[in-house]
Amino acid sequence: MLEIDCSKGEGGGQSVRTSVAMSTVTGNEIHLIRIRENRPTNGLSKQHCTAVQAVADMTCSQVIGNTLGSRELTVIPGNEHRYNMKMDIGTAGSVSLVLQAMQLATVGFKEKVNIDISGGTNVMWAPPIDYYQQVLYPLMARMNIQAELDIIGRGFYPEGGGRVKATFYPIDDIKPLKLTDLGKLRRVRGTCFSQRLPKWISEQMVEGCRSILEDYCNVEIVTQRTTGDSRGAGLSLVAEYDNGLLGSNVLTTRGRPADQAGIDAANDLVQIIDSGATLDVHTADQLLPYMAMADGDSAFSVSRISRHLLSQMDTLETFLDVRFGVERKGDLYHFTITPGGRK
């Protein structure tokens, strides 16, 4: 049984989600200790418990210690698969992060998986569900990993109440992803969403965003206004290049001018564009497990190395024979991922 100290690196829920999923993929029993020890609230949250139980149910695995606040967790992988899943996080916990763990656990499945999940679709400290459609899934498709989702309803903090239907298709061989040069910037697309808020909020967000980005390239932003149990607004952007995609997003908060939220999202994207990186650091974090299992070497560059990325590398080396190479050139960090590279 592998023992994994979840206080290392970023010390949050990322190591839990990745470890549980990789346990079921590789068949290794695991014992997680010191879960989220570096966070103000230690142990598993409702969102983490949902992700762990979803992976366990989907793979018919046994989990011990999957309770709210638990600082230890044991996973004994199963040998059967379930292909239709329905769950409710019960709070505004991130739908995106639960889906992240579930999708990784489907590596090796022979049939498509249909998931109906409720919770928070656009919440702080988690990727917006729009980002999966705009950035992550298109890049994963280049790795021969097919996924799609429909946003049935949006859920914001604290009520949640969003709903998403996702489909993960069987993965054959995972192709490597080499992003060494993005090529020419073609356009920026975006979705500005608001729910149970005045129309002028989304209008000002778009106006603020355009004031920054229109000097760079063509900007196309779609506005969505919806109704639901919760209230909120935000903006999700993607810069489309010849050879890749870069993402940025923002949520409005009380006391923050709407136009400034749009400006902030645009400036974040501009900063990534100007850096010359071929992936934003959040996308690198999510693609890394698949690169580590690919049939060949992958490569990308980022403008900074996050603690999440370091934690992912450390966790994946526990389960896989993979070598990560990092070289700093100027202001960029160039990564190479070599499956089987430690032999």
The contacts of residue 287 (CB under 8 Å, 6+ apart) are 136, 139, 140, 143, 177, 279, 300
Beta-sheet strand order (sheet of 62-64): 2-5, 30-33, 73-76, 62-64
Residue 158 phi/psi, 5° resolution?
Answer: -100, -10
Beta-sheet strand order (sheet of 322-329): 298-302, 332-339, 322-329
Per-position DSSP letters for 234-279, written without gaps between them: EEEEEEEESS-EEEEEEE--TTS-HHHHHHHHHHHHHHHHHHT-SS
The amino acid that residue 42 corresponds to is N
Report the alpha-carbon distance of residue 79 to residue 155 in Å, rounded: 34
Of the residues 31, 81, 282, 308, only one is catalytic, namely: 308
What does R_g of the chain's alpha carbons equal in angstroms?
A: 19
Q: Is 119 left (phi over 0), alpha (psi -120 to 50) or beta?
A: left
C-alpha distances out from residue 217 to 127, 139, 187, Å: 24, 21, 6
Beta-sheet strand order (sheet of 185-195): 218-226, 185-195, 232-241, 245-251
Nearest Cα to Cα of residue 99 among 119, 71, 78: 119
What angle do the packed helices 258-275 and 199-213 form, to 10 degrees? 30
308 is catalytic: yes
What's 136's DSSP letter? I
Report the alpha-carbon distance of residue 274 to residue 238 in Å, rounded: 14
Catalytic residues: 308
